[in-house]
C-alpha cells in the first residue's frame, strides 16, 4: 500500500510538456489544437528543431502546406522518433498547436501513421519546476 | 624532467583522445547485488565517467534551482545595473519570452554558451576525464570541452576574457570536487532566462560523488556588479553514470540549420516573412 501511494505521489510530480527549448511558446496559441489527415511532403531532422512539412485540406477543400516543429533530435530519439520516422507521401494524422498569427505553422503534439503507430512529441520532466 | 615531459604530453594530447582508465568505469553494484541493492561506494577523488542528467538538465526556463517563472522565491538579487542589463536581454523562453525572430539570445547565433550557462541550459550527457594535472569536461551540446586545472595554479588576476573563462579545481574532501571559474566573456548569458553577468563573475561548481553511480552538481553565481549577493543556480542536480561504452549523441548548433529553421518556422511564426 505504501509503495502504491508513493507511486501515485511521484506520478503526480511527473509532468509531460511540449518542449521547444530554443524558441519557447510565445508564438503559439496554446488554447487551440488542430488534428488533420495529411500527406507528408518533407521530414527535416535537424537542430535546433526538427520539422515536418505536410499537405492537408482545409474546411473548404483547399490544400494547405503546413510546417510544424518538434523538439531537437536528441529529445526526439529519447521519445522513439528517428530521421526515418516519416517519408514524403506517407499518409498521417497530425495533432498540433497552431501559431497565433494564422500562418500555416504549428508545433506537433503527436503524429499517427497509417498503420496506427503513434509518435508523441512531449518531453517528460520529473518536476513541474521545469515546465516551460 | 619526467614531470615536465608528462605535463607537455598531457597538454598536447587532444582531450577527446584521452582514455583515462578511470573514465572507463562502468556502473557497478556491490558483489551479489540485485536490482534493489545499493550501488557501490564512490571511489576516492574520482568524478570521471559518462554522466546523464536526464531531462532535468535542459532547463528552458532558467536554472532548476532558480527558474524565471515569476515566483517570489525565484527572484535573484539584482543590482540596478543587473536589472537594467536583464531588461536588455530578450529570451525566447520564460515569463519574459519574445517571439522566435525577436530574441537576442547569443545562443541563437550559435555563440558559445560559456560558464556557467553550459551547466544551466541544454546540459545533456556529460563526459568527465581526469589526468594528473587537470579535469576535462566534454559536453554533448555543441560538443564543447573545457579544462579545469588541478595542478595548484591560481586563477589569473586580470584575465583576458574567454568564452569559457579560466577554471581551477580542488578536492574539498574525498568525494567533492570544487571548481572556481573567472574571466568568462560578458557577452554570454548566465542562463536561458537572460540573467546577466559582468567580467567580475565568479562561478563555483561543486561536484559531489554520492556513490559509484551518482554525481550531484551545485552551481553558485557571484557577481557583485550584477547581484547584491551570491545565489544558487543549481542545487544538487542529479546525474546517473552511463556504461563506459555509451555513445554520446551529437547535438550541434549549426548556423545553416538555424537559418533554415528560421526561414520555415521562426520568421513566419513571428509575422516576419512568408512561410
Q: How far apart are CA B209 and CA B186, in angstroms?
A: 31
Look at residue B5 in the predicted model and tell me its pLDDT. Answer: 38
> Is A72 touching B (CB cutoff 8 A)?
yes
Residue A67 with chain B: CB contacts under 8 Å:
264-265, 268, 275
The per-residue pLDDT for range B59-76, each reduced to its tens digit, is 989 999 999 999 999 999
Mean pLDDT, chain A, as a whole number?
A: 84
Instruction: Identify the pLDDT of residue A17.
Output: 57
Q: Cα–Cα distance between A29 and A8 in angstroms, integer?
A: 31
Task: Give B-chain residues touching A123 at CB under 8 angstroms.
Answer: 55, 58
Residues of B in contact with A130 (CB under 8 A): 55-56, 58-61, 64, 67
Give the tens place of pLDDT for each residue, B233-261: 999 999 999 999 999 999 999 999 989 99
pLDDT of B187 above 70: yes
Residue written as grid cell 527572484: B75
Cα–Cα nearest to B120, from B191, B184, B65, B220: B191
- pLDDT > 90 in chain B, percent: 77
> CA B27, B232, B73 angle in degrees (round to 5)?
120
- pLDDT single digits (tens) B64-107: 999 999 999 999 999 999 999 999 999 988 889 998 889 999 99
- Say if the Cβ atoms of A67 and B54 lie within 8 Å: no
Does the pLDDT value for residue B32 go beyond 70? no
pLDDT of B21 reads: 40
Q: Does A24 touch chain B (CB under 8 A)?
A: yes
Quote the minimal CA–CA distance from B93 to chain A in Å.
Answer: 5
For the cut 80, the answer to whether the pLDDT of residue B23 exceeds it is: no
Residues of A in contact with B251 (CB under 8 A): 47, 72-74
**What pLDDT was estimated at residue A21?**
57
| Residue B216 confidence class, pLDDT cut points 50, 70, 90 | very high
Question: For residue range B160-184, what is the model confidence (pLDDT) as tens digits?
Answer: 999 999 999 999 999 999 999 999 9
Is the ipTM of this structure higher than 0.85? no
Is A49 part of the contact surface with chain B (CB cutoff 8 Å)?
Answer: yes
Please, what is the average pLDDT of chain B?
89
Q: Which of A65, A59, A73, A118 is nearest to A94 (CA)?
A: A118
Residue A47 in this model has a pLDDT that exceeds 60: yes
Q: What is the pLDDT of residue B147?
A: 98
Closest CA to B142 of B86, B188, B209: B188
Q: What is the distance between the alpha carbons of residues B241 and B40, in angstroms, rounded to a whole number?
A: 12
Instruction: Please tell me the distance from the alpha carbon of residue B150 to that of residue B156, in angstroms, as a whole number.
Output: 14
**What local confidence, expressed as pLDDT, does residue B12 receive?**
40
Q: How far is A64 from chain B (nearest CA, A)?
A: 12
Judging contacts by C-beta atoms under 8 Å, the chain A residues touching residue B59 are: 130
Nearest residue of chain A to residue B107 (CA atoms): A22
Amino acid at each position: 500500500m505504501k509503495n502504491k501511494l508513493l507511486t501515485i505521489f511521484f506520478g503526480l510530480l511527473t509532468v509531460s510538456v511540449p518542449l521547444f527549448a530554443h524558441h519557447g511558446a510565445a508564438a503559439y496559441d496554446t488554447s487551440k489544437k488542430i488534428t488533420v489527415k495529411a500527406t507528408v511532403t518533407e521530414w527535416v531532422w535537424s537542430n535546433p528543431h526538427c520539422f515536418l512539412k505536410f499537405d492537408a485540406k482545409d474546411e473548404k477543400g483547399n490544400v494547405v502546406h503546413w510546417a510544424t516543429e518538434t523538439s531537437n533530435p536528441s529529445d526526439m530519439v529519447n521519445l522513439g522518433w528517428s530521421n526515418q520516422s516519416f517519408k514524403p507521401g506517407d499518409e498521417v494524422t497530425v495533432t498540433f498547436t497552431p501559431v497565433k498569427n494564422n500562418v500555416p505553422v504549428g508545433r506537433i503534439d503527436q503524429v499517427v501513421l497509417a498503420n496506427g503507430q503513434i509518435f508523441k512529441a512531449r518531453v517528460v520532466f520529473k518536476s513541474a519546476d521545469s515546465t516551460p | 624532467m619526467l614531470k615536465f615531459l608528462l605535463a607537455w604530453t598531457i597538454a598536447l594530447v587532444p582531450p577527446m583522445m584521452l582514455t583515462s582508465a578511470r573514465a572507463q568505469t562502468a556502473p557497478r553494484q556491490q558483489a551479489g547485488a540485485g536490482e534493489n541493492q545499493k550501488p557501490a561506494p564512490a571511489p576516492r577523488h574520482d568524478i570521471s565517467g559518462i554522466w546523464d542528467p536526464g531531462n532535468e538538465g535542459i532547463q528552458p526556463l532558467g536554472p532548476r534551482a532558480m527558474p524565471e517563472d515569476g515566483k517570489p522565491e525565484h527572484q535573484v538579487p539584482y543590482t540596478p545595473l543587473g536589472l537594467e542589463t536583464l531588461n536588455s536581454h530578450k529570451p525566447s523562453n520564460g515569463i519574459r519570452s519574445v517571439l522566435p525572430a525577436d530574441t537576442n539570445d547569443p545562443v541563437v547565433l550559435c555563440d558559445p554558451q560559456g560558464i556557467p550557462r553550459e551547466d544551466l541550459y541544454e546540459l545533456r550527457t556529460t563526459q568527465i576525464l581526469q589526468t594528473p594535472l587537470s579535469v576535462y569536461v566534454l559536453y554533448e551540446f555543441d560538443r564543447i570541452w573545457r579544462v579545469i586545472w588541478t595542478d595548484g595554479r591560481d586563477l589569473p588576476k586580470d584575465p583576458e576574457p574567454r568564452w569559457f573563462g579560466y577554471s581551477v579545481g580542488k578536492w574539498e574532501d574525498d568525494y567533492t570536487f570544487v571548481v572556481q571559474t573567472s574571466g568568462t566573456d560578458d557577452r554570454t548569458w548566465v542562463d536561458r532566462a537572460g540573467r546577466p553577468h559582468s567580467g567580475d563573475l565568479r562561478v563555483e561548481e561543486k561536484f559531489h560523488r554520492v556513490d559509484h553511480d551518482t554525481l550531484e552538481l551545485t552551481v553558485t553565481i557571484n557577481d557583485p556588479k550584477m547581484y547584491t549577493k551570491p545565489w544558487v543556480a543549481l542545487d544538487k542536480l542529479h546525474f546517473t553514470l552511463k556504461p563506459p561504452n555509451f555513445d554520446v549523441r551529437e547535438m550541434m548548433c549549426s548556423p545553416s540549420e538555424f537559418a533554415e529553421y528560421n526561414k520555415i518556422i521562426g520568421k513566419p511564426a513571428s509575422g516576419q516573412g512568408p512561410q
